Amino acid sequence: MCGAQIGGPDLATLKPGETAIQGQITQGGEPVSGYVRLLDSTGEFTAEVPTSATGQFRFYAAEGSWTLRALVPGGTADRKVVVAEAGGVTDVAIAV
């Protein structure tokens, strides 16, 4: 993964002041591709992105509390109360 961080896509692509939530999905300890949904603090759908072949994802989000829902073949997992801070990067690992 040349140019990529362990927890997500290349941080060099972030612009100063951007708020991001990023990470990787694993299943059985191995990276797995699928989709990740971003749900707001009330559980409402906000966005969805496909992961890379190595399970990595990134959302540009507003500051606040979020839930991430990983959707992969054979499983689903939620990570609740993911806090995004203004101008920062929040790394999240999701095991399905």
Instruction: Work out the pLDDT band at 4, boundaries 50, 70, 90.
Output: very low
Could you give the residue ranges of the DSSP H alpha helices within 26-69? none
Q: How much is the pTM?
A: 0.83
**Contact between residue 31 and residue 48 where contact means Cβ atoms under 8 Å apart:** no
pLDDT of residue 40: 94
CA distance 23 to 8: 4
CA distance 20 to 16: 11
As a CATH number, domain 19-95 is 2.60.40.10
The model's pLDDT over 55-95, given as tens digits with 9 standing for 90+, comes to 999 999 999 999 999 999 999 999 998 999 988 889 999 99
pLDDT of residue 16: 78
The model's pLDDT over 11-57, given as tens digits with 9 standing for 90+, comes to 567 777 889 999 999 999 999 999 999 999 999 999 999 999 999 99
Length reported for the chain: 96
User: Which residue type, as a one-letter code, is found at position 40?
Assistant: D
Q: Which residue has the higher pLDDT, 96 or 4?
A: 96
Could you give the residue ranges of the DSSP H alpha helices within the chain? none
